[in-house]
Amino acid sequence: MSATQLPDTGLAAAIRRLLDLARGNTHQCRYAANFLLAWWNAGDCGGWDLTDLWAVDDTIAHDMLAVAAFIAANHEYPTSYGLGAEFEALVVQWRPHLLAS
Protein backbone atom coordinates (compact mmCIF):
# COMPACT_ATOMS: atom_id res chain seq x y z
CA MET A 1 0.00 0.00 0.00
CA SER A 2 1.45 3.36 -0.95
CA ALA A 3 1.44 6.37 1.33
CA THR A 4 -1.10 9.10 0.92
CA GLN A 5 0.32 12.54 0.30
CA LEU A 6 -0.19 15.13 2.99
CA PRO A 7 -2.16 18.12 1.72
CA ASP A 8 0.02 20.79 0.14
CA THR A 9 -0.60 23.28 2.92
CA GLY A 10 1.18 24.37 6.03
CA LEU A 11 0.20 21.05 7.59
CA ALA A 12 3.14 19.11 6.16
CA ALA A 13 5.46 21.86 7.39
CA ALA A 14 3.86 21.73 10.86
CA ILE A 15 4.35 17.96 11.06
CA ARG A 16 7.97 18.34 9.89
CA ARG A 17 8.64 21.04 12.51
CA LEU A 18 7.17 18.86 15.27
CA LEU A 19 9.19 15.85 14.12
CA ASP A 20 12.37 17.93 13.98
CA LEU A 21 11.68 19.33 17.44
CA ALA A 22 10.89 15.89 18.89
CA ARG A 23 14.35 14.68 17.86
CA GLY A 24 15.92 17.06 20.38
CA ASN A 25 16.33 16.70 24.13
CA THR A 26 14.54 19.58 25.88
CA HIS A 27 11.24 19.82 27.70
CA GLN A 28 9.58 21.24 24.57
CA CYS A 29 11.04 18.36 22.57
CA ARG A 30 9.49 15.90 25.01
CA TYR A 31 6.08 17.58 24.69
CA ALA A 32 6.29 17.41 20.89
CA ALA A 33 7.31 13.75 21.08
CA ASN A 34 4.47 12.94 23.48
CA PHE A 35 1.99 14.56 21.12
CA LEU A 36 3.28 12.75 18.05
CA LEU A 37 3.58 9.39 19.80
CA ALA A 38 0.00 9.67 21.01
CA TRP A 39 -0.99 9.85 17.33
CA TRP A 40 1.26 6.86 16.56
CA ASN A 41 -0.10 4.62 19.32
CA ALA A 42 -1.66 6.21 22.40
CA GLY A 43 -2.35 2.83 23.98
CA ASP A 44 1.31 1.86 24.09
CA CYS A 45 3.07 5.22 23.96
CA GLY A 46 0.76 7.14 26.25
CA GLY A 47 -1.84 9.75 25.63
CA TRP A 48 -1.34 13.46 25.20
CA ASP A 49 -2.10 15.97 27.93
CA LEU A 50 -3.82 19.07 26.57
CA THR A 51 -2.13 21.19 29.22
CA ASP A 52 1.17 20.46 27.45
CA LEU A 53 0.08 23.31 25.19
CA TRP A 54 0.87 25.63 28.10
CA ALA A 55 4.46 24.40 28.24
CA VAL A 56 5.47 25.04 24.64
CA ASP A 57 5.99 28.17 22.57
CA ASP A 58 2.95 29.53 20.76
CA THR A 59 4.25 28.40 17.36
CA ILE A 60 4.63 24.84 18.59
CA ALA A 61 1.17 24.91 20.19
CA HIS A 62 -0.35 26.12 16.92
CA ASP A 63 1.42 23.33 15.02
CA MET A 64 0.07 20.76 17.50
CA LEU A 65 -3.47 22.11 17.15
CA ALA A 66 -3.25 22.14 13.34
CA VAL A 67 -2.07 18.53 13.32
CA ALA A 68 -4.75 17.54 15.86
CA ALA A 69 -7.45 19.06 13.64
CA PHE A 70 -6.03 17.16 10.66
CA ILE A 71 -6.02 13.90 12.62
CA ALA A 72 -9.63 14.46 13.69
CA ALA A 73 -10.73 15.11 10.12
CA ASN A 74 -8.80 12.30 8.40
CA HIS A 75 -8.92 9.33 10.79
CA GLU A 76 -5.51 7.99 9.76
CA TYR A 77 -2.24 7.14 11.48
CA PRO A 78 1.09 8.69 10.46
CA THR A 79 2.04 5.53 8.56
CA SER A 80 -0.68 6.40 6.07
CA TYR A 81 1.50 9.35 5.07
CA GLY A 82 4.80 7.53 4.82
CA LEU A 83 5.98 8.70 8.24
CA GLY A 84 6.53 5.28 9.80
CA ALA A 85 10.33 5.47 9.96
CA GLU A 86 10.26 8.90 11.59
CA PHE A 87 7.80 7.74 14.23
CA GLU A 88 9.69 4.50 14.85
CA ALA A 89 12.78 6.61 15.53
CA LEU A 90 10.79 8.60 18.10
CA VAL A 91 9.84 5.36 19.83
CA VAL A 92 13.51 4.37 19.97
CA GLN A 93 14.42 7.78 21.41
CA TRP A 94 11.53 8.44 23.79
CA ARG A 95 10.00 5.02 24.56
CA PRO A 96 12.88 2.52 24.38
CA HIS A 97 11.22 0.39 27.06
CA LEU A 98 8.59 -0.55 24.47
CA LEU A 99 11.28 -2.23 22.39
CA ALA A 100 12.60 -4.35 25.25
CA SER A 101 9.67 -6.76 25.22
What is the distance between the alpha carbons of residues 37 and 32, in angstroms, rounded to a whole number? 9
Looking at beta carbons, which pairs linking 4-7 to residues 24 or more positions away fall under 8 Å? 4/76, 4/80, 4/81, 5/81, 6/81, 7/70
Is-contact 79 7, C-beta < 8 A?
A: no
How many other CB atoms are found less than 10 A from the CB of residue 80? 15
In this prediction the pTM is: 0.91
Strands (E), the chain: none
- CB-hemisphere CA count at 13 Å for 86? 19
In this predicted structure, the answer to whether residue 4 has a pLDDT above a threshold of 80 is: no
Question: 33-53, pLDDT tens digit by residue?
Answer: 999 999 999 999 999 999 999
